[in-house]
Amino acid sequence: MKRYSVLLGIVVAAMACCSLLAQEKPVIQPSATVLGILQSNAGKAVELHLRSGEKLGGRVSQVTDNIVCLSHLTGAEFFDAFVDVKDVSAVVIRATGR
């Protein structure tokens, strides 16, 4: 009986690990835009790469048609940043489970 309990525990742990590794990769829609990606990641931590070469990391707090507001800036947690969406060249989002 004890062997079966241990075996069952191993099987359950293996299934949990497999489900973590089988995370779905993000799918890019043909009509995807930087604005849409920012809106869908509201409340999440991101890093914005700007056309000027600067990087800003923080949490997306608000997104309008023209401006994205980052709060809890990386390295400057007590500050917020307002960035023109047209100045964003890349959005880096941490993928879970990797």
> What residue spans define the domains of the chain?
29-93
What does the pLDDT look like over 37-90, one tens digit per residue? 889 889 999 999 999 999 999 999 999 999 999 999 988 878 899 999 999 999
| Cα distance between residue 83 and residue 92, in whole Å | 15
**What pLDDT is recorded for position 51?**
92
**What pLDDT is recorded for position 32?**
82
Segments of 36-76 assigned E as strands: 45-50, 55-63, 67-71
CATH class for the region spanning 29-93: mainly beta
